[in-house]
Structure 1
């Protein structure tokens, strides 16, 4: 049974993690969510639910403006061959979310932990980060360190990768 938004908030509270959540109209894309930039502080992300040729699942969580070369990503994340997007049905069964609501908070439903979380190193360098709390009608702000605590508490040790080099050029 997928975790609910109430389950998520209770889990975070149980870990002693403080968050702030803002409700808003449904947001399905990074472009739509950029309209909220003046009202929600912190870094924002794009989240990709992917699978490889052997069926291994990956959740790539990157800063919203990161350039990700899907043709070469498998080389960096240890996938078996090129990756493709997981279906909406697979996403809902494993993360408990619908397309447009993909979030690292979805790994709460991935028990036992089988999805490999790949996290953009830029998102954990400090400051607050923002994600949908399992629905795209809200955005939850969490401290970067607390995001790592959450992921580890769910059994998901993230693979940290830099998606942009020092000059801002993608290194993928």
Structure 2
């Protein structure tokens, strides 16, 4: 059982990582309403169930992937309950099979550790080399639930605001696929 705080609509009083601080600064700057919770460390989608219940939404699954040569990187955002099938993902993008990028690559390119991959890594210059790929089903959800860049902080945002405010702000044009 994962401990989940009450939902807050204010920024944290302290930040665990530079990315987390940038996330909340950007949300304020873009005037994006959010709810957030603080938790014990959460790594798996199963751990997210209590967060989903507290925030009354479904957390997205965010995967950091790369090709075999480790020259092309992808941040794939899909529905939390959808199993990931590398073959389907690769076919949808018309690319060679992908696998999970390493924890070291995640830390250096996304500014996060395993379990905290987030679309908000787009705030970092190092993430410019990572192609953002969104599952069409995620884009159709009312709410977007994700990590704030840590494994102990989670957000509920309007999906429409993520797509229409945040992504243009970071100058990211996602590839939208159906899998």
For residues 97 and 58 of structure 1, what CA distance do their matches in structure 2 show?
A: 15
**Structure 2 counterpart SS, 1:37:** helix
1:70 corresponding residue in structure 2: 86
Kept after mapping to 2: 8 A contact 1:53/1:82: yes
Could you give the per-residue CA deviations for residues 93-141 of structure 1, whole angstroms, max 9, x where no partner exists? 1100000111111221245722111111122224111101000111111
For residues 43 and 77 of structure 1, what CA distance do their matches in structure 2 show?
A: 25
TM-score by length of 2: 0.82
For residues 29 and 151 of structure 1, what CA distance do their matches in structure 2 show?
A: 25
Find 2:47's aligned residue among 27, 32, 35: 32
Kept after mapping to 2: 8 A contact 1:52/1:83: yes
**Structure 2 counterpart SS, 1:139:** strand
Find 1:13's aligned residue among 28, 41, 48: 28
1:88 corresponding residue in structure 2: 103
The unaligned stretches of length 5 or more in structure 2 are 1-16
Q: Cα distance 1:45–1:12, how it changes in 2: closer, same or farther (>3 A)?
A: same
The unaligned stretches of length 5 or more in structure 1 are 164-172
Find 2:173's aligned residue among 154, 157, 168: 157
Report the more deviating stretch, 136-145 or 120-129: 120-129
Q: Cα distance 1:120–1:72, how it changes in 2: closer, same or farther (>3 A)?
A: closer
Tell me how far 1:14 sits from its aligned partner: 1.3
Answer 1 or 2: which has greater helix percent: 2
Tell me how far 1:25 sits from its aligned partner: 1.0
Tell me how far 1:3 sits from its aligned partner: 4.2
**Structure 1 counterpart SS, 2:43:** coil
For residues 51 and 87 of structure 1, what CA distance do their matches in structure 2 show?
A: 9
1:144 corresponding residue in structure 2: 159
Kept after mapping to 1: 8 A contact 2:109/2:127: no
- What is the number of equivalent residue pairs in this alignment? 161
For residues 10 and 36 of structure 1, what CA distance do their matches in structure 2 show?
A: 23
The runs of at least 4 consecutive aligned structure 1 residues that moved more than 4 Å come to none
For residues 80 and 30 of structure 2, what CA distance do their matches in structure 1 show?
A: 27
Tell me how far 1:143 sits from its aligned partner: 0.5
